[in-house]
Amino acid sequence: MRPTVHDIAAAAGVSLATVDRVLNQRAGVRKVTRERVEQAIERIGYVRDVAAANLAKSRVYPFVFILPSGDNSFMRGLEAQVRAAMRRSSMERAVISIVTVPAFNAEALVAALDEVRVTAPAGVAVVAVESPDVIAAVNRLRANRIPVVTLVSDLAGSNRDHFAGVDNIAAGRTAASLMGRFLGGRTGPVAVLAGSMLVRDHRERLDGFRAVMEETFPGHALLPVMEGQDDPVLAERLVGETLAGTPEIAGIYSLGAGNRGLIAALKRRANGHSICVIAHELTRHTRAALNDGLIEAVLNQDAGHEVRSAIRVLKAKADGVAVIGAQERIRIDIFLKDNLPFEDGGENQEPGQGEDV
Amino acid sequence: MRPTVHDIAAAAGVSLATVDRVLNQRAGVRKVTRERVEQAIERIGYVRDVAAANLAKSRVYPFVFILPSGDNSFMRGLEAQVRAAMRRSSMERAVISIVTVPAFNAEALVAALDEVRVTAPAGVAVVAVESPDVIAAVNRLRANRIPVVTLVSDLAGSNRDHFAGVDNIAAGRTAASLMGRFLGGRTGPVAVLAGSMLVRDHRERLDGFRAVMEETFPGHALLPVMEGQDDPVLAERLVGETLAGTPEIAGIYSLGAGNRGLIAALKRRANGHSICVIAHELTRHTRAALNDGLIEAVLNQDAGHEVRSAIRVLKAKADGVAVIGAQERIRIDIFLKDNLPFEDGGENQEPGQGEDV
DNA sequence: CTGTTAGCGCATTCAC
DNA sequence: GTGAATGCGCTAACAG
């Protein structure tokens, strides 16, 4: 049987209350007593039963997720995953709420962060937009001892506790590596479709992609980056123009969420040589394009994993315990037509279909 | 506040004990009473606090992991992950023990399964070897109502509750897809190095690989499969002979754990054209070879994820609750030189280094 | 068949 | 400063 507080009380010759005081580092214990208790704890190898502790405290964790609004498929999938977590959250004593703000809008995000702060939640997960004001707002949360994890897109220079997302530089490098090899002997320039250079994940992907293309595949020039604001209509127009202006194009790297527009533009281009397209995020649009051979590879981040990880980390930070590092490392999934997860396996769906939640 | 057993007792006008009886589907309750209680539960939307229940039961879960012995890097990494889980397991009320048996040995595995069975554990995770005797032994466990999950390699035709591993047919298909594209214009046959056709995962990988190579890249003939028994010395000899006998070889797919031997053979082959090598499992050997450019891609299954997933599923089965499907789906990781996880990030190491466990 | 009672391991009043 | 007592939500004896 695992040792309990009673055992350590007996071993140290003190009462439960005193043990509790030293365990929770509260004041009101003489130094000698404290040391005696600490030795006992060490000696009998006590580890606190967190479940029992939470029960006694009837602790709940009010967490807030701040997500961009808009009809970006990936972000809506992310929100669906948060909602799925909400449904399970009663089990984990977490009470999750969602706040949405316009995408790529630092001002709105700052307002949301400050509003959330006054409700004193046990933790905040936020899809960051990079700006000094946002950094300041996040730091205000931290100053109030509220744990913060950035989700999907990180916020360098802030005091956020953790980033629940992929290594986007590596993602860009990987995309370039695949692009270069898939292109094989083919020649011609490569185009890049981004959402906005205001978010760190897009910038990092571009940096990584550009680095490997220049180092390893200098034969393929990079066309000027198209910024589609993750808007299907704008993206379709930009891609269409580029295809018209540079018909000898060999490949396209879509590093943002403008895939619906990209796919539309590719489909309108009835004939011509094959173009190697690599995109991000497995949604129903990219999945279909992968199956049709319109897209060769999709790099994906598992939104469900990111959300569950964010919750685990927030909870761990909230009660000051460690996390399993490897479990919180979000992988870059590479999907080809051949390793697509069965059916709509959980990455961008309202859960409950196909999974035994 | 969430409704508790007291609330439902009050609502139904019965005592706690009765509520408990219907909650745990125990006998000794009149049908009318039971129905009244069930209605109350439904009406006030009660959900059981599992943590409190486990506390009251002081429930522990004795789980057994049955793993192959030998110096196979992947399997030793798997064992390290199980040991890491053991260290954390006190938190989760799980008591894990490990049993090792000689690899690819059905007889030894059957003996181990039967021995484990009489200790009546709360669940068993096993790296399966395919044989009717093993199937029977697993079914004996299930007949004793002991949950069983297969780990890494599945056991078709058995009553195992769950498979914690990757879709190996998809893995083989993916390997072929990458191989074909990486080969680009190059010609020449492709060799396959396996461990043993006795384990399902190896067979499935081969099937998937062969299927896509024949469908999509018929220009590359497949050489007869080399069975290296996951033994470095044998693998090195087999690969060496093949390289000598068929110097025009274009690619090698290593679908088992004979990578150390493979790499040694490749290194001895001082000069000659480049060969596209795709292997399985990220170990320190394959990681180094990837960095050296000796291997182009590594398909990996995250042993840590598999172990944690197996434990979660066993626990869920043990107390008859559902699992989060998406969380238990083990992904096929594709690693290129460019997206290698930082340092020794958790996939094949004694944990505690580089992760904040 | 049903109800009372005493814990599970811990946190938190309130006295001393 | 320290200790005794009570309760968190649930289960499991034991009575009735």
Averaged pLDDT in 10-residue chunks for chain A of 357 residues: 89 91 88 90 90 89 95 92 89 90 95 96 96 97 96 96 96 97 91 92 96 95 95 95 95 94 91 91 94 95 95 90 85 93 49 24
Cα–Cα distance measured from residue B266 to residue B286, given in angstroms and rounded to the nearest whole number: 12
CA→C1' distance for A9 and C11 (Å): 15
Residue nearest to nucleotide D8 (CA to C1'): A56
CB contact residues (below 8 A), chain A span 4-43, against chain B? none
The answer to whether the beta carbons of residues A138 and A126 sit under 8 Å apart is yes
Q: Which amino acid is at B54?
A: N
Using DSSP bridges, classify how beta strands B297-300 and B333-335 pair: parallel, antiparallel or unpaired.
antiparallel
Q: Tell me which residues of chain A, numbers 278 to 307, contact chain B at a CB-CB cutoff of 8 Å.
A: 296, 302, 304-305
C-alpha atoms less than 13 angstroms from C-alpha of B350 in its C-beta half-sphere: 0
Nearest to B185 among A185, A342, A351 (CB): A185
**The pLDDT value given to residue A184:** 83
Half-sphere exposure of B94 (CA within 13 A, CB side): 29
Amino acid identity for residue A267 in this structure: K
Q: Find the Å distance, CA of residue B3 to C1' of nucleotide D8.
A: 13
Binary contact (B90, A351; C-beta < 8 A): no
Question: How many whole angstroms separate alpha carbon B157 and alpha carbon A165?
Answer: 39
Residues of A in contact with B83 (CB under 8 A): none
Do the chains contact at A326 and B332, CB–CB below 8 Å?
no
With CA atoms as reference, the chain A residue closest to B298 would be A334
A144 in contact with chain B, both atoms CB, cutoff 8 A: no
The helix (run of H) or strand (run of E) holding residue A245 is helix A232-245
Question: Which 313-352 residues of chain B touch chain A by CB within 8 A?
Answer: 322-327, 329, 331-334, 336-339, 341-342, 345-347, 351
> E strands along B69-175, which residues?
94-101, 123-126, 148-151, 162-164
CA A8 to chain CA centroid, nearest Å? 42
User: Does A173 contact B304 at a Cβ distance shorter than 8 Å?
Assistant: no
In this complex, the residue with its CA at the shortest distance from the C1' of nucleotide D3 is: A15
CA distance B294 to B278: 9
Start-to-end C-alpha separation, chain A:
33
What is the distance between the alpha carbons of residues B227 and B198, in angstroms, rounded to a whole number?
10
The residue type of B292 is D
Determine the distance between A16 (CA) and C14 (C1') in angstroms: 15
Rounded CA separation A201/A75 (Å):
14
Distance from C-alpha of B28 to C-alpha of B22, rounded to nearest angstrom:
9
Most A CBs within 10 Å: which of B55, B277, B324, as the mutation test of the A interface?
B324
A308 touches chain B (CB under 8 A): yes
Position B343 scores a pLDDT of 59
Q: What is the DSSP string of A92-113?
A: TTEEEEEEEE-TT-HHHHHHHH
CA distance B4 to A70: 39
Q: What is the pLDDT of residue A348?
A: 37
Q: A174: which chain B residues are within 8 Å (Cβ-Cβ)?
A: 336, 338-339
- A100 phi, psi to nearest 5 deg: -110, 145
**Closest by alpha carbon to A305, among B247, B304, B327?**
B327
Paired strand residues for A19: none
| 3-state secondary structure at position A160 | coil
Q: Closest by alpha carbon to A300, among A174, A190, A197, A148?
A: A174
Chain A residue closest in CA terms to B171: A339
* Residue at shortest CA–C1' distance from C9: A52
Judge: A346–B339 Cβ closer than 8 Å, yes or no. no
What's the pLDDT score for residue A20? 92
Q: Does B143 touch chain A (CB under 8 A)?
A: no
**Count of C-beta atoms within a 10 Å radius of residue A31:** 7
Q: Which of B177, B186, B184, B198 is nearest to B253 (CA)?
A: B177
For each successive 10 residues of chain B (357 residues), what is the average pLDDT? 90 91 90 90 90 89 95 92 89 91 95 96 96 98 96 96 96 97 90 92 96 95 94 95 95 94 91 91 94 95 95 90 85 93 49 25
Task: Measure B164 CA to nearest chain A CA, in Å.
Answer: 15
Q: Pseudo-torsion of CA A98, A99, A103, A104, nearest 10°? A: -110
> How far away is chain A from the Cα of B231, in angstroms, using its nearest Cα?
28
- d(CA B111, C1' D7) / Å: 50
Residues in chain A: 357
Name the nucleotide with the smallest C1'–CA separation from B28. C1
The reply to whether A184 touches chain B by the CB within 8 Å rule is yes
Strand bridging mode A276-280 / A251-254? parallel
Q: Residue A130: which of A145, A150, A147 has the closest Cα?
A: A150
Closest by CA to A306, choosing from A155, A204, A154, is A154
Residue of A280, A315, A338, A342 to mutate, interface with B, max B Cβ within 10 Å? A338
Nearest CA-CA partner of A312 in A300, A298, A301, A322: A322
CA A88 to chain centre: 19
Contact A329 B346 (CB under 8 A): yes
Instruction: Answer yes or no: do B174 and A336 touch at CB < 8 A.
Output: yes
Nearest CB among B308, B341, B357 relative to A322 is that of: B357
**Residue corresponding to tokens 């914690």:** B164
**D7 closest protein residue (CA to C1'):** A56
User: Can you read off the two tokens belonging to residue B351?
Assistant: 């944990």
The closest alpha carbon to A208, from A248, A180, A244, A232, belongs to A180
Residues in A touching B47 (Cβ below 8 Å): 90-91
Q: Which nucleotide is nearest to B2 (CA to C1')?
A: D9
Compare all CA atoms of chain B with the CA of A350 and give the residue at the minimum distance: B326
Q: Which residue is closest to D10 in terms of CA–C1' distance?
A: B53
Please answer yes or no on whether B355 and A326 come within 8 Å at the CB atom: yes
pTM (predicted TM-score): 0.88
Tell me how far the alpha carbon of residue A215 is from its chain's centroid: 29
Residues of B in contact with A49 (CB under 8 A): 55
CB A123 within 8 A of CB A149: yes
Q: Which nucleotide minimizes the distance between its C1' and the CA of A30?
A: D1
Q: Determine whether A78 is exposed, middle or buried from the number of CB atoms within 10 Å of its CB (0-12, 13-18, 19+).
A: buried
With CB atoms and an 8 Å threshold, state whether B177 touches A304: no
Q: Which residues contact A204 (CB under 8 A, 6 or more apart)?
A: A168, A169, A171, A172
